[in-house]
Amino acid sequence: MEKDMMSDNTGAIKRYALELGFSDCGIAAVEELVDEYIRYEQWLSLGYHAHLGYMERNSEKRKDISLIVPDARSVIVLTHNYHTPHIHPSGESDTSGKLARYAWGDDYHDILPPKLEKLSKYIKELYPDTESRYYTDTGPILEKQWAVKAGVGWQGKHSNIISRGYGSWFFIGIIITTAELIPDAPIQDFCGSCTACLDACPTNAIVQPYVVDAGKCISYWTIEAKPDTCIPEPIAQNMNGWLFGCDICQDVCPWNRFQKHTEEKSFEPRNNETSIDYVKLETMVQDEFSERFRKSPIKRTKLKGIQRNIAAIKGAKND
Protein backbone atom coordinates (compact mmCIF):
# COMPACT_ATOMS: atom_id res chain seq x y z
CA MET A 1 0.00 0.00 0.00
CA GLU A 2 1.20 3.47 -0.79
CA LYS A 3 2.70 5.30 2.14
CA ASP A 4 0.31 8.28 1.69
CA MET A 5 -2.73 6.06 1.91
CA MET A 6 -1.31 4.22 4.91
CA SER A 7 -0.73 7.54 6.59
CA ASP A 8 -4.28 8.75 5.78
CA ASN A 9 -5.81 5.54 7.11
CA THR A 10 -3.69 5.59 10.26
CA GLY A 11 -4.81 9.18 10.92
CA ALA A 12 -8.46 8.25 10.25
CA ILE A 13 -8.28 5.31 12.69
CA LYS A 14 -6.78 7.52 15.39
CA ARG A 15 -9.41 10.22 14.87
CA TYR A 16 -12.24 7.68 15.05
CA ALA A 17 -10.73 6.20 18.24
CA LEU A 18 -10.92 9.64 19.88
CA GLU A 19 -14.49 10.10 18.61
CA LEU A 20 -15.40 6.82 20.29
CA GLY A 21 -14.20 8.23 23.60
CA PHE A 22 -10.71 6.77 23.82
CA SER A 23 -8.17 9.17 25.29
CA ASP A 24 -5.27 8.17 23.08
CA CYS A 25 -4.40 5.74 20.33
CA GLY A 26 -0.86 4.57 19.63
CA ILE A 27 0.38 2.04 17.13
CA ALA A 28 3.27 -0.42 17.27
CA ALA A 29 4.56 -2.56 14.43
CA VAL A 30 4.36 -6.28 15.21
CA GLU A 31 7.62 -7.88 16.23
CA GLU A 32 8.67 -10.46 18.79
CA LEU A 33 8.99 -9.06 22.30
CA VAL A 34 12.51 -10.23 23.02
CA ASP A 35 13.91 -8.04 25.82
CA GLU A 36 10.45 -7.40 27.24
CA TYR A 37 9.79 -11.13 27.46
CA ILE A 38 13.13 -11.82 29.14
CA ARG A 39 12.22 -9.29 31.85
CA TYR A 40 8.74 -10.82 32.17
CA GLU A 41 10.23 -14.29 32.59
CA GLN A 42 12.63 -13.02 35.25
CA TRP A 43 9.66 -11.52 37.11
CA LEU A 44 7.84 -14.85 36.91
CA SER A 45 10.89 -16.83 38.00
CA LEU A 46 11.11 -14.69 41.16
CA GLY A 47 7.51 -15.66 41.94
CA TYR A 48 6.35 -12.04 41.80
CA HIS A 49 3.09 -13.09 40.12
CA ALA A 50 2.06 -14.76 43.43
CA HIS A 51 -0.70 -17.29 42.71
CA LEU A 52 -1.65 -15.92 39.29
CA GLY A 53 -0.81 -19.17 37.50
CA TYR A 54 -2.42 -18.04 34.23
CA MET A 55 0.47 -15.59 33.80
CA GLU A 56 2.81 -18.55 33.27
CA ARG A 57 0.70 -19.99 30.48
CA ASN A 58 0.74 -19.10 26.75
CA SER A 59 4.30 -17.85 26.96
CA GLU A 60 4.82 -18.25 23.19
CA LYS A 61 1.80 -16.06 22.43
CA ARG A 62 2.91 -13.44 24.94
CA LYS A 63 6.26 -13.30 23.17
CA ASP A 64 4.96 -13.53 19.59
CA ILE A 65 1.59 -11.83 19.16
CA SER A 66 1.28 -13.14 15.59
CA LEU A 67 0.49 -16.52 17.15
CA ILE A 68 -2.79 -14.92 18.26
CA VAL A 69 -3.56 -13.24 14.92
CA PRO A 70 -1.58 -14.87 12.09
CA ASP A 71 0.12 -12.33 9.82
CA ALA A 72 -0.55 -9.52 12.32
CA ARG A 73 1.20 -6.33 11.24
CA SER A 74 0.11 -3.75 13.81
CA VAL A 75 -0.86 -3.54 17.46
CA ILE A 76 -3.19 -0.62 18.20
CA VAL A 77 -3.15 0.47 21.83
CA LEU A 78 -6.13 2.45 23.06
CA THR A 79 -6.20 4.21 26.41
CA HIS A 80 -9.41 5.23 28.16
CA ASN A 81 -9.34 7.77 30.98
CA TYR A 82 -11.40 6.85 34.07
CA HIS A 83 -10.40 9.78 36.27
CA THR A 84 -13.42 11.50 37.84
CA PRO A 85 -13.48 14.66 40.01
CA HIS A 86 -14.11 12.64 43.20
CA ILE A 87 -11.50 11.85 45.84
CA HIS A 88 -10.96 9.03 48.32
CA PRO A 89 -12.43 9.55 51.79
CA SER A 90 -9.67 11.01 53.93
CA GLY A 91 -8.16 8.90 56.69
CA GLU A 92 -9.37 5.54 57.83
CA SER A 93 -12.97 4.86 58.73
CA ASP A 94 -14.27 2.33 61.26
CA THR A 95 -17.44 1.90 59.27
CA SER A 96 -16.51 1.81 55.58
CA GLY A 97 -13.78 0.55 53.26
CA LYS A 98 -12.04 2.33 50.38
CA LEU A 99 -12.30 1.22 46.75
CA ALA A 100 -9.68 1.66 44.03
CA ARG A 101 -10.76 4.41 41.64
CA TYR A 102 -11.06 2.06 38.69
CA ALA A 103 -13.82 0.22 40.58
CA TRP A 104 -15.99 3.24 41.39
CA GLY A 105 -17.91 3.02 38.15
CA ASP A 106 -19.02 0.30 35.77
CA ASP A 107 -16.73 -2.54 34.77
CA TYR A 108 -14.43 -1.51 31.93
CA HIS A 109 -14.73 -5.05 30.59
CA ASP A 110 -18.29 -4.03 29.62
CA ILE A 111 -17.57 -0.44 28.52
CA LEU A 112 -14.46 -0.82 26.32
CA PRO A 113 -15.35 -3.83 24.10
CA PRO A 114 -18.25 -2.16 22.19
CA LYS A 115 -15.92 0.74 21.37
CA LEU A 116 -13.13 -1.64 20.33
CA GLU A 117 -15.59 -3.54 18.16
CA LYS A 118 -16.67 -0.34 16.37
CA LEU A 119 -13.05 0.57 15.75
CA SER A 120 -12.29 -2.95 14.47
CA LYS A 121 -15.25 -2.68 12.05
CA TYR A 122 -13.95 0.65 10.85
CA ILE A 123 -10.52 -0.88 10.18
CA LYS A 124 -12.27 -3.60 8.16
CA GLU A 125 -14.02 -0.91 6.09
CA LEU A 126 -10.70 0.75 5.34
CA TYR A 127 -8.90 -2.56 4.74
CA PRO A 128 -11.50 -5.17 3.67
CA ASP A 129 -8.93 -7.97 3.35
CA THR A 130 -7.65 -7.70 6.90
CA GLU A 131 -8.50 -9.39 10.19
CA SER A 132 -8.47 -7.82 13.65
CA ARG A 133 -9.03 -9.05 17.19
CA TYR A 134 -9.49 -6.93 20.26
CA TYR A 135 -8.77 -7.47 23.94
CA THR A 136 -9.34 -5.67 27.22
CA ASP A 137 -7.12 -7.42 29.65
CA THR A 138 -8.57 -10.71 28.48
CA GLY A 139 -5.83 -12.35 26.40
CA PRO A 140 -2.25 -13.58 26.76
CA ILE A 141 -0.90 -10.16 25.79
CA LEU A 142 1.83 -8.10 27.47
CA GLU A 143 -0.35 -5.00 27.29
CA LYS A 144 1.90 -2.64 29.21
CA GLN A 145 4.88 -3.56 27.04
CA TRP A 146 2.84 -2.90 23.88
CA ALA A 147 1.59 0.38 25.35
CA VAL A 148 5.21 1.50 25.77
CA LYS A 149 6.12 0.39 22.24
CA ALA A 150 3.08 2.24 20.84
CA GLY A 151 4.17 5.44 22.58
CA VAL A 152 1.01 6.04 24.64
CA GLY A 153 3.12 6.37 27.77
CA TRP A 154 6.08 5.05 29.71
CA GLN A 155 6.11 2.43 32.43
CA GLY A 156 6.35 4.20 35.77
CA LYS A 157 8.38 2.90 38.69
CA HIS A 158 5.08 1.64 40.19
CA SER A 159 4.79 -0.44 36.98
CA ASN A 160 1.64 1.26 35.64
CA ILE A 161 1.77 3.08 32.33
CA ILE A 162 1.85 6.88 32.62
CA SER A 163 0.75 9.32 29.95
CA ARG A 164 1.90 12.93 30.08
CA GLY A 165 -1.64 14.00 29.24
CA TYR A 166 -3.63 11.57 31.42
CA GLY A 167 -1.39 10.36 34.22
CA SER A 168 -2.04 6.69 35.00
CA TRP A 169 -5.80 6.67 35.59
CA PHE A 170 -6.70 4.87 32.38
CA PHE A 171 -7.66 1.47 31.05
CA ILE A 172 -5.93 -0.15 28.10
CA GLY A 173 -7.58 -1.84 25.13
CA ILE A 174 -5.67 -3.60 22.37
CA ILE A 175 -6.49 -4.33 18.74
CA ILE A 176 -4.21 -6.74 16.91
CA THR A 177 -4.65 -6.32 13.18
CA THR A 178 -3.23 -7.64 9.92
CA ALA A 179 -3.54 -4.07 8.56
CA GLU A 180 -0.23 -2.32 8.10
CA LEU A 181 -0.32 1.10 9.76
CA ILE A 182 2.24 3.79 10.48
CA PRO A 183 3.78 2.99 13.89
CA ASP A 184 4.45 5.54 16.62
CA ALA A 185 7.74 5.88 18.47
CA PRO A 186 8.04 5.09 22.19
CA ILE A 187 8.29 8.12 24.45
CA GLN A 188 10.92 8.75 27.08
CA ASP A 189 10.61 7.78 30.76
CA PHE A 190 9.71 10.91 32.75
CA CYS A 191 10.01 9.38 36.26
CA GLY A 192 13.46 10.91 36.64
CA SER A 193 14.79 10.78 40.20
CA CYS A 194 11.30 10.59 41.77
CA THR A 195 10.71 7.69 44.17
CA ALA A 196 7.37 8.84 45.62
CA CYS A 197 5.56 5.59 44.79
CA LEU A 198 8.30 3.38 46.27
CA ASP A 199 8.41 5.51 49.41
CA ALA A 200 4.62 5.53 49.86
CA CYS A 201 3.85 1.84 49.33
CA PRO A 202 2.93 0.60 52.82
CA THR A 203 3.94 -3.01 52.16
CA ASN A 204 7.16 -2.39 50.17
CA ALA A 205 5.56 -4.22 47.24
CA ILE A 206 7.56 -2.15 44.74
CA VAL A 207 10.67 -4.21 45.42
CA GLN A 208 12.77 -2.14 43.04
CA PRO A 209 11.91 0.57 40.52
CA TYR A 210 9.51 -0.85 37.89
CA VAL A 211 9.14 -4.22 39.70
CA VAL A 212 6.09 -5.06 41.83
CA ASP A 213 5.87 -8.24 43.88
CA ALA A 214 2.14 -9.07 43.68
CA GLY A 215 2.49 -11.23 46.79
CA LYS A 216 3.16 -8.05 48.81
CA CYS A 217 0.60 -5.84 47.07
CA ILE A 218 -2.71 -4.87 48.72
CA SER A 219 -4.39 -4.73 45.29
CA TYR A 220 -3.46 -8.32 44.59
CA TRP A 221 -4.66 -9.55 47.97
CA THR A 222 -7.94 -7.65 48.00
CA ILE A 223 -8.89 -8.29 44.35
CA GLU A 224 -7.07 -11.25 42.85
CA ALA A 225 -6.38 -13.66 45.71
CA LYS A 226 -8.94 -16.47 45.83
CA PRO A 227 -11.75 -15.68 48.30
CA ASP A 228 -10.85 -18.67 50.50
CA THR A 229 -7.19 -17.56 50.85
CA CYS A 230 -6.29 -15.75 54.08
CA ILE A 231 -4.62 -12.35 53.75
CA PRO A 232 -1.14 -12.59 55.36
CA GLU A 233 -0.61 -10.65 58.57
CA PRO A 234 1.98 -8.15 57.17
CA ILE A 235 -0.49 -7.17 54.43
CA ALA A 236 -3.54 -7.03 56.71
CA GLN A 237 -1.65 -4.77 59.15
CA ASN A 238 -1.15 -2.25 56.34
CA MET A 239 -4.55 -2.33 54.63
CA ASN A 240 -5.72 0.82 56.43
CA GLY A 241 -9.26 0.51 55.17
CA TRP A 242 -8.47 -0.53 51.58
CA LEU A 243 -11.35 -2.88 50.94
CA PHE A 244 -10.95 -3.42 47.19
CA GLY A 245 -7.65 -2.49 45.54
CA CYS A 246 -5.22 0.23 46.58
CA ASP A 247 -4.42 3.55 44.88
CA ILE A 248 -1.63 4.77 47.14
CA CYS A 249 1.27 4.52 44.67
CA GLN A 250 -0.76 6.24 41.96
CA ASP A 251 -2.23 8.89 44.28
CA VAL A 252 1.25 10.12 45.21
CA CYS A 253 2.51 10.20 41.63
CA PRO A 254 3.17 13.77 40.49
CA TRP A 255 1.91 12.85 37.02
CA ASN A 256 -1.55 12.25 38.47
CA ARG A 257 -1.91 15.80 39.78
CA PHE A 258 -4.24 18.06 37.82
CA GLN A 259 -5.16 15.45 35.24
CA LYS A 260 -8.17 15.72 32.98
CA HIS A 261 -11.45 14.09 33.96
CA THR A 262 -13.14 11.44 31.90
CA GLU A 263 -16.23 12.24 29.85
CA GLU A 264 -17.42 8.63 30.16
CA LYS A 265 -20.36 8.76 32.56
CA SER A 266 -20.16 4.99 33.21
CA PHE A 267 -16.97 5.56 35.20
CA GLU A 268 -18.60 7.98 37.67
CA PRO A 269 -19.03 6.37 41.12
CA ARG A 270 -22.04 4.07 41.21
CA ASN A 271 -24.53 5.22 43.87
CA ASN A 272 -22.12 8.13 44.49
CA GLU A 273 -20.00 5.75 46.60
CA THR A 274 -16.22 5.89 46.71
CA SER A 275 -16.22 3.66 49.79
CA ILE A 276 -18.69 1.07 51.06
CA ASP A 277 -20.24 0.51 54.43
CA TYR A 278 -18.87 -2.60 56.17
CA VAL A 279 -22.14 -3.54 57.88
CA LYS A 280 -23.97 -3.47 54.56
CA LEU A 281 -21.44 -5.93 53.12
CA GLU A 282 -21.07 -8.15 56.17
CA THR A 283 -24.79 -8.81 56.29
CA MET A 284 -25.28 -9.03 52.53
CA VAL A 285 -26.58 -12.29 51.04
CA GLN A 286 -25.47 -13.61 47.65
CA ASP A 287 -28.54 -12.44 45.67
CA GLU A 288 -28.13 -8.95 47.02
CA PHE A 289 -24.40 -8.94 46.23
CA SER A 290 -25.02 -10.15 42.65
CA GLU A 291 -27.64 -7.47 42.07
CA ARG A 292 -25.71 -4.65 43.77
CA PHE A 293 -22.42 -5.37 41.94
CA ARG A 294 -23.79 -6.45 38.58
CA LYS A 295 -21.55 -4.84 35.92
CA SER A 296 -19.18 -3.57 38.63
CA PRO A 297 -15.51 -4.66 38.80
CA ILE A 298 -16.14 -5.51 42.47
CA LYS A 299 -18.02 -8.70 41.58
CA ARG A 300 -14.61 -10.20 40.67
CA THR A 301 -13.69 -10.66 44.32
CA LYS A 302 -17.01 -12.33 45.14
CA LEU A 303 -19.00 -11.77 48.32
CA LYS A 304 -16.77 -14.18 50.23
CA GLY A 305 -13.63 -12.30 49.13
CA ILE A 306 -15.05 -8.91 50.15
CA GLN A 307 -16.08 -10.29 53.53
CA ARG A 308 -12.60 -11.82 53.91
CA ASN A 309 -11.12 -8.35 53.23
CA ILE A 310 -13.33 -6.71 55.86
CA ALA A 311 -12.34 -9.37 58.40
CA ALA A 312 -8.64 -8.74 57.64
CA ILE A 313 -9.03 -4.95 58.09
CA LYS A 314 -10.95 -5.34 61.33
CA GLY A 315 -8.71 -8.14 62.66
CA ALA A 316 -5.58 -6.01 62.14
CA LYS A 317 -7.17 -3.15 64.10
CA ASN A 318 -7.93 -5.42 67.03
CA ASP A 319 -4.40 -6.87 67.26
Binding site for ligand SF4 (CB under 6 A): 156-158, 191, 194-197, 201, 203, 205-206, 212, 217-219, 246, 248-249, 252-255
Closest to 297 measured CA to CA, from 232, 224, 236? 224
Whole-number minimum distance, CB 254 to ligand SF4, in Å?
A: 6
Q: Which is nearer to ligand SF4, 182 or 252 (CB)?
A: 252
From the list 24, 71, 107, 137, the catalytic residue is 137
Strands 242-244 and 96-99: parallel
Whole-number minimum distance, CB 204 to ligand SF4, in Å?
A: 8
Whole-number minimum distance, CB 237 to ligand SF4, in Å?
A: 12
Whole-number minimum distance, CB 243 to ligand SF4, in Å?
A: 13
Q: Which is nearer to ligand SF4, 232 or 254 (CB)?
A: 254
Q: Are 275 and 89 in contact (CB under 8 A)?
A: yes
* DSSP assignments along 99-114, one per residue: E-GGGTSS-HHHHHHH
Q: Which is nearer to ligand SF4, 249 or 312 (CB)?
A: 249
Q: Which is nearer to ligand SF4, 183 or 215 (CB)?
A: 215
Q: Are 213 and 205 in contact (CB under 8 A)?
A: yes
d(CA 107, CA 99): 13
Closest to 177 measured CA to CA, from 7, 4, 10, 315? 10
What b-and-e string marks burial along 44-69, b requiring 16 or more CB atoms within 10 Å of the CB?
A: eeeebbbeeeebeeeeeebbbbeebb
Closest CB to ligand SF4: residue number:
156
35 is catalytic: no
Residues designated catalytic: 137
